[in-house]
Amino acid sequence: MLLGKELYRQLVREATHLPDARISEHYLARIRTTFLERNDPESSQQAARRTKHAQKLLRQLQAVNDGYIHALTRAYETAYGLRGPQKHQALEPFTNPGLKKRDFPPALAALVTSSIAHTSRPPSTAQLTTPPTLPERADPTSEEARLLGPLTPERVRAIRRRWWNSQTGKIRAPLAVHVRRPGGEDVRDVGEATRLLRDAGLGSGLAEDLVRAGWSRLEELERRATSKQVPLPPRRLQTAEQRATKHAPPEKLALPRIEDAQRRVLSPSARNSKWHNPKQLTARLLRRRAEAVLEEGPVVVVHVPAPSAAAEEQDGDKKGTLPNKKGGARFEVKRSELAHGEKGRVREMTDEERWWHEQEAASASAGGKKRR
């Protein structure tokens, strides 16, 4: 069992050899922050608990470097903000405005009612104001309230609080928050985007650092999920040159292997089926993991309204200010343009589907000529 400096050195060594740069930076910062922070003298139970958590983290990093899919997926989701402290930090600007009264502001309602951001079946807009778990006795004019008596306000608030907690705990954190003007142009300046988000009701917890970090995280994830190799069309649509060209097999990453004679997966984890088939770390495998994270992570687009004429006359220099906070911003939850999966619109026809339509049209025209 590794303890003290040996445990710290082994953690840093494993984190340095991780296959993704962002994942490596994330875990290195986490390890150094955890080990180098100066705390008050702790008891033996607290020291044992911290040692246990560090050894668990070491096994997770070893599993990533050994090529286990579940550990690699968890590392990607943690480093890119889909789980862990970064997820809660990204959700705070959406949940904090409705935390006191347990209501759903427009930004939070867009996340909760979206099938992209919700991990299960999303509720309807009407269910946000009237939870389905709220009995009919909550309405004083109902027949059950007349026979059995209305519910107390404390119980109604408790039901609404449980419903709010259950729904906000089932949403995914957005990878990034974009601000879009009425003409369809995205705001690229971080300071201006933060000011517009503050006018839309998200500026209380969404600082410039979080906005900038979300943009860079999304750009890096899109770059890692995109293949540099142009895919070939279906074989029936390929030319002779394309059929003669064969893609090279995926190259294995030149990662430094950690030599260790002992088993890196200890019992009872070794008896679990997910530890039986480790994969070889290749560029294609890492790209597939990045594609999966990009497909799961939602992107919030804030559509800001155009400034009113009266506001332009009063403030000629302050362009882009919202006329009022009620009117305004519209929140849209979508996937990245480079992500796989349904994006909420009709997709474009593929080459193979276009070929089948042409064959159907040709056969239909040929059948019509024969009838004549």
Out of 154-163, 255-264, 355-364, pick the least confident.
255-264
Q: How many angstroms separate the first and last alpha carbons of the chain?
A: 87
Mean pLDDT of the chain: 80
Query: Is the Cβ–Cβ distance between 126 and 110 less than 8 Å?
Result: no
pLDDT of residue 240: 80
Between residues 4 and 210, which one has the greater pLDDT? 210
What DSSP line would sit under 104-169, residue for residue?
--HHHHHHHT-TTTBSSPPPPHHHHHS-TTS-GGGSTTSHHHHHH-PPPHHHHHHHHHHHHHHHHT
pLDDT of residue 252: 55
Average pLDDT rounded to a whole number, residues 69-94: 91
pLDDT of residue 313: 39
The C-alpha torsion from 176 through 182 and 188 to 192, rounded to 10°, is -100
Given a cut of 90, whether residue 45 has pLDDT beyond it is no
The C-alpha torsion from 37 through 42 and 44 to 45, rounded to 10°, is -90
Query: Is the Cβ–Cβ distance between 272 and 303 less than 8 Å?
Result: no
Given a cut of 60, whether residue 178 has pLDDT beyond it is yes
In which order are the strands placed within the sheet that holds 176-180? 176-180, 299-303, 330-334
pLDDT of residue 277: 72
pLDDT of residue 341: 65
pLDDT of residue 40: 62
Nearest of 116, 95, 242 to residue 169 by alpha carbon: 95
Say what percent of the chain tops pLDDT 90: 23
Residue 90's SS3 state is helix
Given a cut of 90, whether residue 39 has pLDDT beyond it is no
Out of 114-123, 126-135, 162-171, 361-370, pick the least confident.
361-370
Handedness of CA 355, 358, 364, 366 (dihedral sign): negative
Average pLDDT rounded to a whole number, residues 355-363: 86
Range picked from 109-123, 271-285, 343-357 for highest mean pLDDT? 109-123
Q: Residues near 83 by Cβ (< 8 Å), separated by ≥ 6?
A: 74, 77
How would you classify the pairing of strands 299-303 and 176-180?
parallel
pLDDT of residue 42: 67
Average pLDDT rounded to a whole number, residues 275-295: 84
Render pLDDT for 230-249 as a digit per residue (tens, 0 to 9).
667 777 777 887 777 665 55
pLDDT of residue 246: 63
Given a cut of 60, whether residue 57 has pLDDT beyond it is yes
pLDDT confidence bin for 112, thresholds 50/70/90 = very high
Given a cut of 80, whether residue 56 has pLDDT beyond it is yes
Given a cut of 90, whether residue 166 has pLDDT beyond it is yes
pLDDT of residue 271: 57
For residue 35 the two structure tokens come to 């080990």
- Whether a cis peptide bond, with omega within 30° of 0, leads into 131 is no
pLDDT of residue 98: 87
| CB contact burial 178-202 (16+ within 10 A = b; e otherwise) | bbbeeeeeebeeeeebbbbbebbbb
pLDDT of residue 132: 92
Given a cut of 90, whether residue 111 has pLDDT beyond it is yes
Half-sphere exposure (CA, 13 Å, Cβ side) for 183?
A: 5
Given a cut of 70, whether residue 250 has pLDDT beyond it is no
Out of 58-72, 188-202, 288-302, pick the least confident.
188-202
Range picked from 217-231, 255-269, 357-371 for highest mean pLDDT? 217-231
pLDDT confidence bin for 186, thresholds 50/70/90 = confident
CA distances from 200 to 127, 184, 301 (A): 24, 17, 12
